[in-house]
Amino acid sequence: MPENTMEKPNIVTCTAPVNIAVIKYWGKRNEELILPINSSLSVTLHQDQLKTTTTIATSRSFKEDRIWLNGKEEDITHPRLQSCLREIRRLARKRRNDGDPALDPSVLSLKVHICSVNNFPTAAGLASSAAGFACLVYTLARVFGTEGELSGIARQGSGSACRSMYGGFVQWIMGQKDDGKDSLAQQVEPETHWPELRILVLVASAEKKSVGSTSGMQTSVQTSCLLKHRAESVVPGRMEEMIEAVREKDFVAFAELTMKDSNQFHATCLDTYPPIFYLNSVSQQVINLVHRYNRHYGETRLAYTFDAGPNAVIYTLQQHVPEFVQAVQHFFPPESNGGQFIQGLPVNQAALSEELKQAIGLEPMPKGISYIISTKAGPGPRVVEDPTQHLIGSDGMPKHTV
């Protein structure tokens, strides 16, 4: 079609957040619908620091659905992408058939161009698929005019994506039904609930992980007896305790549950046959640092959690951030000429007492931590109103490609 006759595409851009689970999801009872063997609970991180941005364009001139991730065209026929596209289009058709006058019927037959970028390393254990699929589904829903419950559709892209559909503290209720209609995310408390809570992502490695979450989970479900025990006997009680700790803003209870659950998740990875190692020597040193720091003060001031990768996520309260960041810099000395070691929310300078250094007493690991992202709890997906932020130009193609 000649350029001058091509109609301008309709373009929508949205952003969505990363979430970090404190009660972990690991293992599915249904691979296709992505139904979990246990419920989980997470904190949504602030999009000022970590987010996915997705632009979707529709036009009569588009011949097929296409997708670009971080500037590179990817295969749109991926089953999980197809699930999300199919479900949103099905919802839109249902709305139209129900006689919704606001829905433009011509939209239903249009093809989409999808362009998505992360402002953090993809697949480095930083929940990139959660933010990515949440953003895809949220943006598709805006394009096709489908309102209502979307977490069940996001779940079919990536399980933990359902939790990124909300801000603050979010639970994913595992559900009982075979069709997964009751396996949905629900906000426990909004992001404004616990303003003193801070989150520090200690990036130990920005490399792609060796065993992806999907295959790792399948092997765990097939081979780990501990995983079955965890799902049936441990997680239900922990979910209740964690919801209570969040509602009461009880940091000690929140922190201890978070660490125990992270440790048990990684124990199930070791109990998997053959075993899966997501933590490395840097991760183990961070665990030692946190426990020795807490022991020195005789109270739990820090909590760690690790997803399927070596990066540590630290939960703490605002007043402890400067000293802990100083401790990280001392025991994991960064490259002096490197970029900014602390990214995100500003962190005040603090001195480290000799007493604390000696109490921790670890051998420093130079360059063990690449950088720290300082952040807090944040809101759910958002529409971007500024058209200059669109990732797709008026020609219907990405503005930047690799």
C-alpha 67/C-alpha 78 separation (Å) is 11
Within 10 angstroms of residue 243's Cβ, the number of other Cβ atoms is 16
DSSP letters for 280-346: -HHHHHHHHHHHHHHHHHTS--EEEE--SSS-EEEEEEGGGHHHHHHHHHHHSPPPTTSS-SEEES-
Contact between 189 and 159 under an 8 Å Cβ cutoff? The reply is: no
C-alpha 157/C-alpha 159 separation (Å) is 7
Question: Tell me, what's the pLDDT at 231?
Answer: 98
C-alpha 51/C-alpha 72 separation (Å) is 18
Question: Tell me, what's the pLDDT at 123?
Answer: 46
Q: In the chain, which residues have pLDDT < 70? A: 1-6, 121-125, 127, 205-209, 336-339
C-alpha 51/C-alpha 351 separation (Å) is 32
Question: Tell me, what's the pLDDT at 211?
Answer: 80
The sign one gets for the Cα dihedral 13, 98, 150, 74 is negative
Contact between 317 and 197 under an 8 Å Cβ cutoff? The reply is: yes
**C-alpha torsion 153→51→173→279, nearest 10:** 120
The model's pLDDT over 387-398, given as tens digits with 9 standing for 90+, comes to 999 999 999 999
**Tokens 């659905």 map to which residue?**
65
CA-CA distances (angstroms) from residue 369 to 64, 80, 323?
43, 33, 16
